[in-house]
Chain A
């Protein structure tokens, strides 16, 4: 794990984020008959053939592996929607488009386990890759503008896996900038009090997207 050497920056490994993502609900169409499942996290079923129902992703993948169902693609994963999102991402250089929080993990799991259930699977895969690349480059270019006075960095509509990717780096960078900045602020208060009107004022909030 990337953050282990510094315990104050404990992060999740990618597999752990995937595990959390598996709690999302998804629609399946079972092809067997099964009684209702009474689990701790909820009751699902009873499963009747060809009647769609909503289950958590981990259950859907487990059933799919045993050939007991077929997974229905979520709405946001159609080619039209993804193309729309990609266009919008490319057009707005600072905003992120709203996407499901775990879209990376969900798409990967579905593309691996249920690729015969998804129409035009190769298109979907390459679209998601492109979306991911564009968003990540936006994150990087936004990070370039962090200066010493940044107290918080706000990234709206970022997904779980993307957040996890930049978390150790960003935390350390903010720490490093803070360390470099604080004694100078205190020292300069003596010499140049007239130049800076309020030394203890919080710096401008550095938004990575327009409000």
Chain B
């Protein structure tokens, strides 16, 4: 269940999902830009924010269709190369959203799909996040979802802090610390 005070949860639940109404609803015509009367017809396809769709789905008033971010095209992209999929700009709440959506929609393959995506991107992220420096933001950071970005930040900030501590009093001796470059270094 979403954390009531968690701001990222609140933002995440604002994502739009497309739903199909099972019942007609009166007085909420502004949800559907195409109606003349102030009501929504049964069987209409509307875009609602997730928090609304979630509640209505619990009361069996609507059924949620899987949004495009979990559809076939995304699955093909992930299978091709999971690390290059651009989750940061398009779907920053990819994983949280998927976890929330998963019990509502009857698609059993979505859970393993999420985990597989995360696992393959994680390998890529691991080495890069530890060696990234403070100022240069590697391009792949823009491709991370919010959750992955937190992981990346945690690793990077602890690494940077350690480096600062290491050269703290050394002053002129800093040059002897610069060792051989390894292939995973991103400088």
Residues of A within 8 A of B (CB): 1-3, 6, 9, 11, 13-15, 18, 108, 112, 122, 125-126, 129-130, 133, 136-137, 140, 143-144, 146-148, 161, 164-169, 172-173, 176-177, 179-181, 183-184, 187-188, 191
Contacts and interface: CB of A to CB of B under 8 A. Distances in A.
A176 B165 contact: no
A140 B126 contact: yes
A165 B159 contact: yes
B158 A129 contact: no
B108 A191 contact: yes
Nearest to B166: A108
Contact of B115 (A161, A167, A180): A180
A144 B119 CA distance: 9
B73 to A, nearest CB: 21
Contacts of A136: 130
Contact of A14 (B114, B151, B161, B169): B161
Interface in B107-155: 108, 111-112, 114-115, 118-119, 122-123, 126-127, 129-130, 147, 150-151, 154-155
A172 B150 contact: yes
B80 interface: no
A148 B158 contact: no
Contact of A129 (B150, B151, B179): B179
B149 to A, nearest CB: 11
Q: Mostly helix, strand, loop or mixed at chain A's interface?
A: helix
B24 interface: no
Nearest to A148: B115
B118 A176 contact: yes
A137 B185 CA distance: 11
A158 to B, nearest CB: 14
Interface string B145-187: 0010011001101110110111001100000110100101000
Contacts, number: 98
A145 to B, nearest CB: 9
Contacts of A140: 126-127, 130, 184
Nearest to B148: A176
B102 interface: yes
Given A1-B161, A122-B176, A183-B99, A173 B108 contact: no
A112 B155 contact: no
Q: What 9 pairs across the A-B complex have the smallest Cβ distances?
A: A184-B111, A14-B165, A2-B158, A169-B155, A168-B154, A2-B157, A180-B115, A169-B154, A172-B151
Contact of A144 (B126, B157, B164, B166): B126
A184 B159 contact: no
A168 B102 contact: no
B67 interface: no
11 contacts: A1-B161, A2-B157, A15-B165, A148-B115, A165-B162, A167-B158, A169-B158, A180-B95, A180-B118, A183-B103, A187-B102
B182 A11 contact: no
Contacts of A125: 176-177
B158 A168 contact: yes
A108 B166 CA distance: 7
Contact of A11 (B112, B122, B158, B179): B158
A129 B164 CA distance: 15
Given A112-B170, A133-B179, A13 B161 contact: yes
A187 B169 contact: no
B108 A168 contact: no
